[in-house]
Amino acid sequence: MTSHPSGRRFHPAAEVLSGETADVYFERAQRILAAEQLDPVVCMEVFTREPAVLCGAEEAIVYLREVLGPERDHRPAPVVESLSDGDLISPKEVVMRVTARYSAFGLYETALLGILSQSTGWATAARQVVEAAAPIPVIGFGARHVHPSVADQMDYASVIGGCVGASTPAGAGLAGLSPTGTMPHALILIFGDTVRAAEAFDRHIDPDVPRIVLVDTFKDEAEESVRVADALGDRLWGVRLDTPSERGRVTPDLVKEVRARLDLAGHPNVKIVVSGGVDVERIAAFKAAGAPIDSFAVGSAISDASPIDFTGDLKEIDGRPIAKRGRIPGRTPNPRLRAIDLGS
């Protein structure tokens, strides 16, 4: 399990709690059961069919606390058991178990599965990138590739998967971190010169924010790196190479040249960050070529990850083992599940 700082907070969305985002058949099932005066205590187990890095459990638990918490005065008391965000999970391993009256949570199956599916997909993709890059750290830069309503969850999942940072304040905050970022090309274009933009950044941005400067906007990357390093001196943490595909993208040879020219100019401590279409395959190529990279910034290789499907199965009704065909009736043992305090 991955350990993360405390303090992150998920907030339940009103449209989820109202059932507006649920598959309509769950709402219809609720109406039918209420009309028939059927409200058994059921046990639902959630699992996936592939190995993955679990993510979304913590957010799902926020919703379960909202609908099952002690202020709801359910009888009998609901029980939720779950694995934790960051846990490595096996195919068909039960990652969450909910035991409660069906009316209390049945409407939210769509949301619970969707949260787990999307977040676990992102976290698992991040883990693949991080493992490919190791020991070089990876920063999550995928927010621009997703709808803003889920950018924070995506950045959080990137950190759960092993990224050392994320670019949005909301997403980094969920993971208990400060956001990580450099400067946009737009700032440099408006100033008309990379060094002028870097100096303005240095004047106005808090000193605890690392000075990392884009060096591919106007001039040769190696030349621009030296110009910026000469101007900022020891205040410069690093340079970021983000050469677009129209100019051949960042290559191992380019990284090597930038490193050599920085060293020759007396700036051996300036680090090199590489971004722009970085994925597992490109990371492998950089490492095979011995490119001296200090950090990768990765976006679409994480944000474009497919969701990992989760399934919710009823396995008991009023204590009686049951299951649809193809599944084994009754609870599936998993000693790794931990009981969740629904009151916190």
* Domains (range + CATH), the chain: 14-120+306-339 (3.20.140.10), 123-303 (3.20.20.70)
How far, in Å, are 85, 210, 218, 239, 241 from residue 182 at the CA level?
Answer: 28, 8, 17, 9, 11
Percent of the chain with pLDDT strictly greater than 90 = 92
The pLDDT, as a whole number, for residue 301 is: 97
Give the C-alpha separation, 129 to 134, whole Å: 9
Give the C-alpha separation, 171 to 40, whole Å: 39
Predicted TM-score of the model (pTM) = 0.93
Q: Per the structure block, which two tokens stand in for 170?
A: 């909301």
Give the C-alpha separation, 35 to 8, whole Å: 41
- What count of other Cβ atoms lies within 10 Å of the Cβ of residue 190? 11
* Confidence label for 43 from pLDDT (cuts 50, 70 and 90): very high
Query: Tens digit of pLDDT for each residue in 292-316?
Result: 999 999 999 999 999 999 999 999 9
Amino acid at 29: A
pLDDT at 328 over 50: yes
Percent of the chain with pLDDT strictly greater than 70 = 97
* Confidence label for 182 from pLDDT (cuts 50, 70 and 90): confident
pLDDT at 6 over 50: no
Residues in the chain: 344
Rg (CA), the chain: 24
- Angle, to 10 degrees, between the axis of helix 252-264 and the axis of helix 280-288? 50
pLDDT at 142 over 90: yes
- What count of other Cβ atoms lies within 10 Å of the Cβ of residue 179? 17
Rounded mean pLDDT, 165-193: 94
pLDDT at 7 over 90: no
The pLDDT, as a whole number, for residue 70 is: 79
Share in percent of the chain as helix, strand, coil (round to 5): 45, 15, 40
**74-96 burial, b for 16+ CB within 10 Å, e for fewer?**
beeebebbbbbbbbebeeebbbb
- CA pseudo-torsion sign 167, 170, 174, 178: positive
Q: Per the structure block, which two tokens stand in for 74?
A: 């359910």
Please enumerate in sequence order all residues whose Cβ is within 8 A of that of 264, keeping only pairs 6 or more positions apart, or say none. Answer: none
| Kind and range of the H or E run holding 188 | helix 185-191
- What count of other Cβ atoms lies within 10 Å of the Cβ of residue 173? 18
Residues forming a β-bridge with 339: 81
Closest of 288, 296, 281, 277 to residue 253, by C-alpha: 288
- What count of other Cβ atoms lies within 10 Å of the Cβ of residue 336? 16
E-strand ranges in 19-113 read 41-48, 52-53, 79-82, 88-89, 94-101
Query: Tens digit of pLDDT for each residue in 263-276?
Result: 999 999 999 999 99
End-to-end CA distance of the chain, in Å? 21
The pLDDT, as a whole number, for residue 4 is: 42
Mean pLDDT of the chain: 94
Rounded mean pLDDT, 122-129: 98
Give the C-alpha separation, 304 to 235, whole Å: 35
